[in-house]
Amino acid sequence: MDTNHTPERPDSRGTSGNGPTPPRVEVEPTPDAGATNPAGAHASGEYNSGEHAAGAHAAGAHAAGATEHIPYEPSTASETRTVVKTRTKKLPVFLAALGGFVLGGILLIALVMSGAFRITDSDVQAAGDSAAQTIKIDAEDATLAEAVAAKALPSVVSITTETQDGGGVGSGVILDADGNILTNYHVIEGATAIAVNVDDDASYEAEIVGTDESSDLAVIRITDKGDAQLTPIEVGDSDDLSVGEWVMAIGSPFGNEQSVSTGVVSALYRSTAMQSSTGTTIYANMIQTDAAINPGNSGGALVDSEGKLVGINSIIESYSGSSSGVGFAIPINYAINIANQIIAGETPAHPYLGVSVTSVNAFVARRENLSVSEGALISQVNEGTPAAEAGLEVNDIVTAVDDEPVTSADGLIMALREHEVGDKVTLTVVRGDETKKIDVTLGSDADLQTDQQDTSSGNGAMTEEEFLQYLQELMGQNGGNLGGQIG
């Protein structure tokens, strides 16, 4: 088991004397953009047990799971990359192309029959009310990836930021003709200036409309659009996704704008919390994909085989910090709900319990003489909150939500974030030596984000200091017994 699990930026290289650094989940960062696009950096924020304040432009770093964030140091070295195009023999390519042509033709016919695209003699037109697109493409030779890219690329932008520490490059998705763009909070956190590049190489200034730091989402808006014709993306339904379904990731990996990569939905309902010194980002019910996601893809689009937006690419799990085929996107059903609240001038609301909690682990259980070694220990219950009304008490240990095990403070918050405001949940609570089932109706934190919030500390894993202290106590006790036995 990896007890250290220290996160690092995807573009850093960590090694140890025992081999490669274990994999970790980390916020996919903004890449070094040289003199014109300086390296991006994440500032920090404090963990509010999944119920973070929104709308603030304060910085917030995102560390993996429940570990300490390692600040990003902008690179001062310049790097030159050469792209080499190679030639291949005609016959094998012809045979492969023939098979691809047949398969691509079948897939494209399926798309037409499903209504995703309308094909004329020389055009592929995207269906839907969100945008009027006419894509010039040879329909006879179009593959699935080509058709989807032609439809979705005009709706994905590159975002360049300037910050006090430098700057960086990320991605975003055009939501409407007014120039509202959905992206990750960590792409624009701490930004003093924001520029947006669209697919026709036009560049515009943008301002922050609002943010939701705890879910790593933000909306920015182009301020100097003028008569520019923007292409809003067609929004899909992430609840309809299936494991194995084809998807495409679109963004600006390493600053390479308008890049696409394809893969499948590897898994659904992945959840994690990424902590920093002043905040925690809650990623609940994430879409896992093997489509390549790299630094710069953050805030970009994950689209399905109809070119519809199903997720916002956000984090990766990797030994190296670059794509390892394990990337994660925020489901669009959740993200668009947050975006709509921000655009409407509202404070994004999250399920609210009304407690402060800390993680229970072996060391804490031994020190406090607790009856369980895993769970979320309630250290405070705020008055007039759902927790107080349900009868939760200080020193209660929550070990499950709706019979799904909870092993840490983060685990409790992630379990609650997977529900909606107003949902009723059943908490399994250990009180002394007694186990209880307590029903709680979750409230909204929208009016409480500046004062009363759920807060937590700890991550379910012992720190190195706690572990050493635990070993010393354990060895001291066992050593005394052993000495008595030997005589």
Beta strands in 73-179 (DSSP E): 117-119, 123-126, 134-136, 156-163, 166-174
Beta strands in 105-216 (DSSP E): 117-119, 123-126, 134-136, 156-163, 166-174, 180-183, 191-197, 203-212
What stretches of 261-374 show up as alpha helix (H) in DSSP?
332-343, 362-368
With a CB cutoff of 8 Å and minimum separation 6, the contacts of 39 are 30, 31, 32, 33, 72, 74, 75, 166, 167, 168
Element at 146 (helix H, strand E) = helix 144-152
Site of tokens 């947006």:
196
Is 186 in the active site?
yes
Kindly name the residue from 216, 290, 304, 396 that is annotated as catalytic. Answer: 216
Characterize the bridge pairing of strands 455-457 and 355-360: parallel
DSSP assignment string, 70-95: -------S------------HHHHHH
Element at 378 (helix H, strand E) = strand 375-381
CA distances from 125 to 135, 139, 204 (A): 6, 10, 26
Beta strands in 223-369 (DSSP E): 246-251, 259-275, 280-289, 301-303, 309-318, 327-331, 351-352, 355-360
Site of tokens 């790593």:
216
Q: Which two tokens stand for residue 226?
A: 């003028």
Characterize the bridge pairing of strands 397-401 and 375-381: antiparallel
How many CB atoms neighbour CB 186 within 10 A?
A: 33
Burial 344-364 (b: 16+ CB within 10 A, else e): eeebbbbbbbbbbbbbbbebb
Kindly name the residue from 42, 186, 259, 314 that is annotated as catalytic. Answer: 186
3-state secondary structure of 439: strand
3-state secondary structure of 66: coil
Is 216 in the active site?
yes
Is 42 in the active site?
no
Asked if residues 330 and 297 have their Cβ atoms less than 8 Å apart, the reply is: no
Kindly name the residue from 298, 323, 408, 457 that is annotated as catalytic. Answer: 298
Asked if residues 456 and 47 have their Cβ atoms less than 8 Å apart, the reply is: yes
Residues designated catalytic: 186, 216, 298
